[in-house]
Amino acid sequence: MKKYYASAKDYRDAYVEQGLIMAKYFPLLLIAVTITIGFAHSILLNMQGLMGIGEIIAFVGLLTQLRFPTFISIFVFAMVRLAISGAERLLEIMKTETKIDQNIKGISMKIKGDIKFDNVSFTYPNSEIQVLQNISFKIKAGQTVAIVGTTGSGKTTLTKLLSRLYDITEGRILIDGVDVREYALKSLRNQISYIEQDIFLFSNSVFENISFGRTSSLEEVIGVAKQAQAHKFISTIPNGYDSEVGERGVQLSGGERQRIAIARAFLTDPPILVLDDSTSAIDSQTEDQIQRAMNTIRKNRTTFLITHRLSQIRWADLILVLRHGEIVAKGTHEELLETSDEYRKIFIKKFDVDVAQLKEVC
């Protein structure tokens, strides 16, 4: 991988250098060639008696005056081509029709958070591989369900089906006893918040990133930032909540970006919250602080946890163990330690302990 990254960097540097050389010297070369050819042609015409010395001087002078317009024309042409290319890609995306029924006239009501997966199976479009098979479980509003399993077992896909990023192939997903396909899509998605490991922040201020999607006062933003344990570090950076975070939040660390995202989710106050490995870039001390805040704020919301952090999983009301898209075990932490080899293996491997020691850790 190091060799690959080194080769990619060398290629990028060479490509950038080539671009700089072309940008600097190609217009000059074009002007020089034009003047040279024009001057040579005018000399030929003079030798044939068709052009005088004064006319040659005037002609070359006019060519020289064309240098600046030529530079501008080349620059504008390059910018226009770039704009056309970008516009074509944007139009292609805008014209793409989704296969998901928006159901504009569907149900638009405040969700409580009772969720039931009834024999749900799912296959991605244009694929024959079934990602989820016969998933069935039920949780009450305000409860927390943790989803664990190896990479590729379908954990994230399961939560994506809640907001109908994809429609299920078989079965039903019920929220408050209503099939998710009967909700107006906009209403459904507005009541489900996702916090993922790869956080996207806009090149804007901290305040606008937290309040994105709704009109909020500074006091409200500060309140949720305190709940997400973000207020302290925000107060220490220049300009505080008015500080620019840079493209995709490059001015912040991974843990700081995730706390901003958690504060954003707190502000929207969704009845359903999905945390997909959202504390992976946060140190243990900060995680403990956020966990305390989450214990308070998720009392009245249904929460899905995708994580392998035992400190979070052990408090879940229901734990689902997935393998190859199927639920191989479900129950509380204590129940699964006693009954599920698959569940025990996850943590025995992670902590390098036996079952007895694992129970002591818990």
User: Domain ranges in the chain?
Assistant: 2-95, 115-361
Average pLDDT over all residues of the chain: 80
| Two tokens, residue 133 | 């098979």
Q: d(Cα 83, Cα 77) in Å, to the nearest integer?
A: 10
Residue pair 247/240 in contact by the 8 Å Cβ criterion: no
Q: Which one of 121-130, 212-221, 249-258, 307-316 scores highest in mean pLDDT?
A: 121-130
Q: Which residue has the higher pLDDT, 72 or 231?
A: 231
Token digits for 158?
């399961």
Radius of gyration of the chain (CA): 30
CA atoms within 13 A on the CB side of 31: 19
pLDDT of residue 289: 64
Residue 76 neighbours by CB under 8 Å, 6+ apart? none
Q: What is the pLDDT of residue 280?
A: 58
pLDDT at 292: 66
* Res. 103: pLDDT tops 90: no
Instruction: Summarize the confidence of residues 34-40 as an average pLDDT.
Output: 79
Helices marked H in 191-281: 206-210, 218-227, 231-236, 254-268
**Lowest mean pLDDT: which of 31-40, 149-158, 230-239, 264-273?**
31-40
Which pLDDT score is estimated for 174? Answer: 94
**Which stretches does DSSP call E strand in 29-142?**
115-123, 130-139
| Reduced 3-state DSSP string for 298-331 | HHHCEEEEECCCHHHHCCCCEEEEEECCEEEEEE
> Which amino acid is it at 358?
L
Q: How confident is the model at residue 232 (pLDDT cuts 50, 70, 90)?
A: confident
193-221 pLDDT, tens digit per residue, is 888 777 778 888 888 888 876 778 888 88
pLDDT of residue 117: 94
Class for the domain spanning 115-361? alpha beta
Q: What pLDDT, on the 0 to 100 scale, is given for residue 125?
A: 82
Angle at which helix 284-297 crosses helix 254-268, to 10 degrees, equals: 0
Q: Is the pLDDT of residue 1 over 80?
A: no
Q: Torsion-angle region of residue 229: left (phi > 0), alpha (psi -120 to 50) or beta? A: left
Q: Quick check: 116 pLDDT over 80?
A: yes
